[in-house]
Amino acid sequence: MTQHTATMSASWIWYPGDFEIRLHEKMSVKRRSRGVLYPAYWRLDRHYSNVTFRYTYDLPQEERITVAAEGSFSLYVDGKGNDRSDDAVITLPAGRHEINVSVFNDIEVPALFIEGANIRTNSSWEVTSYQNDWVPAGNWTFDSPSSPPSAFRLALTPQEPVSEEMKEGHLLLDFGRETFGYLRFHNLRGSGMVNIYYGESMAEALSTEECYSLDRFEAGEAARSSVDGIYTLNDAKAYRYVWIHADTAVNWDHVSMLYEYVPVTHRSTFECSDPKLNEIYNMSLYTLHLNMREFFLDGIKRDRWVWSGDAYQAFLMNYYSFFDLDVTRRTLIALRGKDPLVMHFNTILDYSLYWFISLYDYYLYTGDIDFIRQYYDRAVTLMDFCLAQRNEEGLLEGRQQDWVFVDWADFKNNGAVSTIQILLARSLEVMSLLAAKLGNVSASTSYVTLAEEIKEKTIRLFWDDSRGGLLHHRVDGVTQSTLTKHASMFALTYDYLSLEQRDSVIRNVMLNPGVPQIRTPYMRFHELAVLCESGQHDYVRQEVLSYWGGMIELGATTFWEEYDPSLADDAHFGMYGGTFGKSLCHAWGAGPIYLFGKYFLGITPSSPEYQTYRIQPNLGGLAFMKGTVPTGKGQVHIEMDHSAIHVESTHGTGLLTFTSAEPPTCEEAEVRSAGNGRYEVAIKAGNRYSIAYRN
């Protein structure tokens, strides 16, 4: 939650994390499989129902305050617990006093709102769950007694279908592209049953027996519950097409929908000489936006669950587009949940580890050390939990009950998987960096020492000189011969390889057709990023065109959970044994946002909060490109073609690096040579820089 300490305005407060944890509990059971509940299959954590808030004030005169609570409450002063009040208006005595307010709520999160001339609830209040834990209260943008946290809802706006037609005597609506929300019937009349079949594809909507989402209601009842002549269905769904089967005695004027979404600012742009890439970029933005809701979801049709590995990527895409930190924070908090840690996040070992890396990314992109401070303890106990799972060689292994995922692919993940060790080493580095930022030197040292140890051991035990990459796993002390791209790719991402090893990995692993190809957009995200890190922009551009462009060719309006060009027609829609099991709007499909922002426009923070950052634009075979990347408070804008680069920024200090075939010129700043045809220009906020160069 954003800390509102700077302002004196009152806001609703609660036990930190509990708003997010309660919201996560509710959202995790929204999934319906053909109308029937399909809850998340991991422990859903719950808010504390019984908490006490406290605050110490010192005032020269008494003060009248108003008190609102979600739940039952009692207020007492100076520890005199027998002398309690639950009045809505209370006069507090002058002088120095401590107020305590106990709040109980076993349905929604216990929350408190107090407003007086000076005494107002905000994050300078503390709260306890009675576990020896007086901690700063959580709060957010709930700044009025009439909008308590439990009333939180996403935004709604009406949408109309773009076309209607009759299919087999039933109305088929097409909303033009994938959307999400509540179907509405205007002026519903008559009586009888109405069955609704939703489809992300037309084939799905037309398959009454196999479409994933459906609804059913009795028209007479529904009409009676209409508001202003409109009957709105209870549950929001993901769809482009809707096929409506109604009994003949049922009539209506019109069907529309209420689109449900998080209001965001489109803070990024990307436009280049290839219109297909522009289309891919914008469709990626829409795909990501649909999946960023109460939390970052995997996909809006099917699971609607919060998966840590999926979220890790969505966080990065978000930093290069909407830079919405509320959804990011909610997701980080919900994923971590509460103690005791018994199972891994989403039951997946790797998904616990991604959380550390996501937490550090959040810090790097935002500089929000207050948030890190608030949740650092939860990171420490998560790391304790993970480290306890190391085998006798000190390598992290899945337990019987753990899912070691890595990727949807044909390999075994038993024993110690090298990718897991790389993710653990990075997680430990991240914990070391955060511990240091919080002034905990000894923890920082011990984390980094362990990180180095695991990194060294992993390279030593898994690196295969003859094959030029990291082998996949090690069982009972013996490294197995399977070679996959995954570990090498992450080792390259986190800079764990020597220069020769990097070159070898790119040549012998990443670009080697003999190594099993990566087929999921999930891992393609990392694969293509790594290829960009190695300067393979041209190759990446072509891959994006063929993979994402391929989906568009097949009529996609948002990007899919998986895409296999070899499949025919409606076979694309199947997955997990269901004819329409595949999600056609999946967050991890939006990877081009990240690729274009970070590797083509080339913007990366080099210190927290973008106080310093790098600009390493790369046309990757394009004639020109221009675009904007948000940098927290500000943004960087770049335009580039084969002879000119223009850069403009509003905050922080950038270092533009580029290659030129002849010495470049710039009127606004000095151009320094970095050798080997590389040049650098320091970019200050507020100026526009134009560089003449030759690509």
Interface residues with a copy of itself (CB under 8 A)? 25-26, 28-29, 33-44, 46, 48-50, 52, 72-74, 81-86, 102, 104, 106-107, 129-133, 339-340, 342-343, 347, 401, 576-578, 581
Provide, rounded to whole angstroms, the least separation between the CB of residue 327 and a copy of itself.
22
Choice between 62 and 86, CB closer to a copy of itself: 86
Provide, rounded to whole angstroms, the least separation between the CB of residue 341 and a copy of itself.
9
Nearest to residue 547, comparing CAs of 262, 284, 254? 284
Provide, rounded to whole angstroms, the least separation between the CB of residue 553 and a copy of itself.
29
Provide, rounded to whole angstroms, the least separation between the CB of residue 212 and a copy of itself.
9
Choice between 74 and 358, CB closer to a copy of itself: 74
d(CA 663, CA 231): 68
d(CA 570, CA 356): 39
d(CA 311, CA 27): 15
Provide, rounded to whole angstroms, the least separation between the CB of residue 312 and a copy of itself.
22
| Tokens 């335009």 belong to residue | 639
Provide, rounded to whole angstroms, the least separation between the CB of residue 570 and a copy of itself.
18
Choice between 29 and 554, CB closer to a copy of itself: 29
Q: What is the DSSP letter of 506?
A: I
In the chain, the amino acid numbered 317 is: M
Rg (CA), the chain: 27
SS3 312: helix
SS3 309: helix
Q: H helices within 261-392, ranges in order?
A: 275-291, 308-319, 325-336, 349-366, 369-387
CA 356 to chain centre: 13
Choice between 81 and 176, CB closer to a copy of itself: 81
Choice between 34 and 224, CB closer to a copy of itself: 34
Nearest to residue 32, comparing CAs of 235, 243, 245, 336? 235
Choice between 6 and 37, CB closer to a copy of itself: 37
Q: Answer for the pair 630, 612: CB distance below 8 angstroms, yes or no.
A: no
Provide, rounded to whole angstroms, the least separation between the CB of residue 46 and a copy of itself.
5
SS3 526: helix
Residue 273 CB partners (closer than 8 Å, separation 6+): 622, 623, 624, 625
Choice between 145 and 578, CB closer to a copy of itself: 578
Provide, rounded to whole angstroms, the least separation between the CB of residue 70 and a copy of itself.
14
Provide, rounded to whole angstroms, the least separation between the CB of residue 15 and a copy of itself.
11
Nearest to residue 268, comparing CAs of 249, 281, 258? 281
d(CA 45, CA 42): 9
Choice between 102 and 358, CB closer to a copy of itself: 102
Provide, rounded to whole angstroms, the least separation between the CB of residue 73 and a copy of itself.
7
Phi and psi torsions of 2, nearest 5°: -65, 135
What is each CA distance from 518 to 180, 484, 575, in whole angstroms? 30, 9, 17
What is each CA distance from 574 to 133, 563, 584, in whole angstroms? 49, 11, 10
Provide, rounded to whole angstroms, the least separation between the CB of residue 102 and a copy of itself.
5
- Sheet holding 269-272: strands in order across? 269-272, 624-631, 634-641, 644-649, 688-692, 665-666
d(CA 527, CA 522): 9
Choice between 86 and 453, CB closer to a copy of itself: 86
Provide, rounded to whole angstroms, the least separation between the CB of residue 577 and a copy of itself.
7
d(CA 491, CA 418): 10
| Tokens 């012998």 belong to residue | 508
Choice between 18 and 527, CB closer to a copy of itself: 18
d(CA 138, CA 16): 4
Provide, rounded to whole angstroms, the least separation between the CB of residue 236 and a copy of itself.
17
Residue 618 CB partners (closer than 8 Å, separation 6+): 532, 535, 537, 599, 600, 602
d(CA 29, CA 235): 12
Choice between 86 and 221, CB closer to a copy of itself: 86
Provide, rounded to whole angstroms, the least separation between the CB of residue 298 and a copy of itself.
16
Choice between 213 and 479, CB closer to a copy of itself: 213
Provide, rounded to whole angstroms, the least separation between the CB of residue 335 and a copy of itself.
15
Nearest to residue 376, comparing CAs of 360, 361, 353? 360
d(CA 351, CA 308): 5
Q: Where are the beta strands (DSSP E) in 513-633?
A: 603-605, 612-615, 624-631
120: tokens are 């107002």
3-state secondary structure 565-598: CCCCHHHHHCECCECCCCCCCEHHHHCHHHHHHH
Provide, rounded to whole angstroms, the least separation between the CB of residue 521 and a copy of itself.
22
357: tokens are 């890396």
SS3 212: coil
Provide, rounded to whole angstroms, the least separation between the CB of residue 467 and a copy of itself.
37
In the chain, the amino acid numbered 344 is: H
Cα distance between the two ends of the chain: 45
Handedness of CA 130, 132, 135, 138 (dihedral sign): negative
